[in-house]
Homo-oligomer: A and B are copies of this chain.
Amino acid sequence: MAAPIDFYFDFTSPYGYLAATQIERLAATYGRNVKWHPILLGVVFKATGAVPLTSVPMKAEYTLRDLERTARFIGVPYRHPSTFPIATQATARAMLWIADTHGEAKAAEFAKAAYRALFADGVNIGDAAETAKIAAGLDVDPEALGAALASAEVKERLKAEVEQAMARGVFGSPFVIVDGEPFWGFDHFPQIEALLRNGKI
With A62-B169, A169-B62 already in contact, the answer to whether A191 and B70 are too (CB < 8 A) is yes
Across the interface, do A182 and B57 meet the contact criterion of CB distance under 8 Å? no
Residues of A72-131 at the interface with B, using a CB-CB cut-off of 8 Å, are 72-73
Q: Which residues of B contact A184 (CB under 8 A)?
A: 59, 62, 66
With A66-B184, A187-B185 already in contact, the answer to whether A171 and B73 are too (CB < 8 A) is no
Across the interface, do A58 and B48 meet the contact criterion of CB distance under 8 Å? yes
Q: Which residues of B contact A56 (CB under 8 A)?
A: 48-50, 171
Across the interface, do A190 and B191 meet the contact criterion of CB distance under 8 Å? no
Q: Does A179 contact B (CB under 8 A)?
A: no
With A187-B187, A187-B188 already in contact, the answer to whether A171 and B59 are too (CB < 8 A) is yes
Q: Which residues of B contact A73 (CB under 8 A)?
A: 191, 194, 201
Across the interface, do A62 and B201 meet the contact criterion of CB distance under 8 Å? no
Q: Which residues of B contact A188 (CB under 8 A)?
A: 66, 187
Q: Which residues of B contact A201 (CB under 8 A)?
A: 69, 72-73
What is the interface of chain A mostly: helix, strand, loop, or mixed?
A: helix
With A69-B191, A191-B70, A201-B73 already in contact, the answer to whether A57 and B48 are too (CB < 8 A) is yes
A-B CB proximity, top 5 nearest: A187-B187, A58-B171, A48-B57, A48-B58, A69-B201
**Which residue numbers of A lie inside 8 Å of B, CB to CB?**
47-50, 56-59, 61-62, 65-66, 69-70, 72-73, 166, 169, 171-172, 181-182, 184-185, 187-188, 190-191, 194, 201
16 contacts between A and B (CB under 8 A): A47-B57, A48-B57, A56-B171, A59-B171, A59-B184, A62-B182, A62-B184, A65-B182, A66-B184, A69-B181, A69-B191, A73-B191, A73-B194, A187-B187, A187-B188, A190-B190
